[in-house]
A and B are shown apart, each in its own frame.
Chain A
Amino acid sequence: MDAEIALRVDGQRRTLSVDTRTTLLDALRERLGVISPKKGCDHGQCGACTVLLDGRRVTSCLTLAVAHDEAEVTTAEGLAEGDRPHPVQQAFLEHDGFQCGYCTPGQVCSAVGMLDEVKAGWPSHVTENLEEEPDLDEEEIRERMSGNLCRCGAYTNIVSAIREAAE
């Protein structure tokens, strides 16, 4: 069963007809050719498909495209300003925050969303005092990024990249 929807993807409005079964991830990759969000586990467990949906990081494999008519979607491709990478992308480059790179677009989108959550004062599981502004130390970064797996194990450099981008 098909439905007409519009998505604003990386600043561009795109209209498409989707089978209701299409996930947001498949709509982006298979229908719109936006391939920076990656299909890892396809069950919300690895974070490779992370995009910013109306500004919030989400796993695009676990949400249906049809449910997001008129939504704003930002993928890792849409984070750069012209030729200038987003500060989080630049930090990943400088700190070598990847090996094969498959999880990287998801890591980057997740980190951008996560830094906004910290800015908004959102606590995490390791935040000692829930009423105080969280201090983004290494433990906080590791906890807040636990939804993004890296099979190459580039975690140490991912953490230092995010630390720098947060400053």
Chain B
Amino acid sequence: MKPFDYERADDTDGAIATVSDDPTATYLGGGTNLVDHMKLGVAEPGKLVDITKLPYDFVETLPDGRVSVGATVRNSELAASHVIRQSYPMLAQALLAGASGQLRNLATTGGNLVQRTRCAYFQDPGTPCNKREPGSGCSALEGWNRHHAILGASEHCVATHPSDMAVALAALDATVVVRGSEGQRRIPVTELHRLPGDEPERDTVLEHGELITSVELPAPSDSARSAYRKVRERASYAFALVSVAAVVEVDEGTVRDARIALGGVAHKPWRAEAAERELRGAPATEENFRRAAEAELEQAEALRDNAFKIPMTRNTLCAVLRELTREDRA
């Protein structure tokens, strides 16, 4: 591992100034992804600014009913929070579907969002990878790509985003609050992560030095139902092959609103807008669920090893919609 300086931040602006002024500096949260990357030689920061003691360890309900989650709240604490379990059970489900108990005790809300792909080539500095080393080529394109993207990929990168939490946040229409040297800005979580295009080295729209300070959840809805379902190669402690986060509102058998995000299929949590359009105003029937899933997957493109993800995504989405509308269809 390359030598680096370590600093524990005690105020946000100081931390932001330190990282902004030093192109080799980066923030350290729980470290579960970053420390691993430093061991592997995937990341070689010259300075780490530890933000875990900054005052962002909170889950609070705002006066207008929205809920604000601080960036340093551990994944385990967030999943156990009563507000989250009661009002956003889908988010708790997604958090609990990720990693292991030990890792959730370290991993933070902000760090979960900016964790990087688990593409085997990205994590192996001995192989070409455009995300790790722009211009070197993509080993996964013609290589082992069972876990890779079927939606929104490019000829430069076919990696997927590994987070479960971020998929739930995308379906919840959460907002990410970010601070940088120019002040604060708010980014819809669906716009935080990028598609690879010809700059796969950029996972998010964040500029160097910008720090996620909190995530805001819209006020909970009484009439909406939600669920997170994850399909993986073993029952626990594995990344998603495919996951579905869905929020639906059904009135007298008709879908009034549907917000769907897919995990494990793209470079970012994939908001299934085509499926949502098909569903809004349509009767909540199996046939319509299937039509919606197929509308979304019209744009899907399989690689050598991951064609199974297309029917798997369709079936998982249909199963989640069936589960959420069981009573309406009875």
Contact = CB atoms under 8 A, between A and B. Distances in A.
A146 B3 CA distance: 33
Given A62-B36, A147-B237, A110 B6 contact: no
A44 interface: yes
5 contacts: A21-B3, A58-B102, A110-B101, A123-B85, A143-B235
Quick one: which of B35, B38, B89, B100 has the most chain A CB within 10 A?
B100
Interface residues of B, number: 37
Given A57-B105, A63-B32, A147-B237, 20 more contacts: A20-B4, A20-B48, A56-B76, A59-B32, A63-B106, A64-B6, A64-B31, A66-B6, A67-B8, A67-B52, A110-B101, A113-B102, A114-B101, A123-B79, A123-B85, A123-B96, A125-B93, A125-B96, A130-B92, A146-B235
B236 A62 contact: no
A127 B96 CA distance: 10
A10 B39 CA distance: 27
Nearest to B100: A147
Contacts of B287: none
A56 B100 contact: no
B5 A59 contact: no
A122 interface: yes
B100 A130 contact: no
B39 A59 contact: no
A116 to B, nearest CB: 11
Quick one: which of B5, B8, B32, B236 has the most chain A CB within 10 A?
B236
B99 interface: yes
Interface in B68-101: 76, 79-80, 85-86, 89, 92-93, 96-97, 99-101
B199 interface: no
Contact of B102 (A23, A66, A110, A120): A110
Given A110-B101, A146-B237, A123 B32 contact: no
Interface string A60-79: 00111011010000000000
Nearest to A65: B6
A27 B236 CA distance: 30
Interface in A5-31: 19-21, 23
